[in-house]
Amino acid sequence: MTQQPPAGSLVDTGNPLLAQVPVQLDTGDLVTPGGPVGVLTFRSPSTTFTAFLGADDLRRWAQLLSDLADKMTGGIVTAPPGALDRLEKILRQR
C-alpha cells in the first residue's frame, strides 16, 4: 500500500511500481442507456485504466492534453553518447 500523495501532486512518489513505461491509448465511442460516451483506455504493463466521458469532458481533456503538449515543445531531449555527432554527420551529407 502506498501513502496518499500531497494534494496537487501529479506523482505518487510513495509508489514503488511507478516508472516510465510504454502506454497504449485506445479510443472509441459507445452508446449507453445514458447516451453516447467517448471511451479512452490506457494500457501499460502494470495497469489498464478506462474513462467514459461525455462530449464536454472529452473537449476539456483534449484541451488539457493540447496545452500540455504545447508546454513540452522544445523540451529536453536525451540521446545516447555519440548520437548527436552521428546526426550532424548525416545532416552534413545532405
| DSSP per-residue string spanning 60-88 | HHHHHHHHHHHHHTT------TTHHHHHH
pLDDT score, position 20: 79
Q: What is the pTM of this model?
A: 0.60
pLDDT score, position 1: 42
Cell numbers at 59, concatenated: 473537449
Where in the chain are the domains?
18-59
Checking if the pLDDT of 68 tops 90, the result is: no
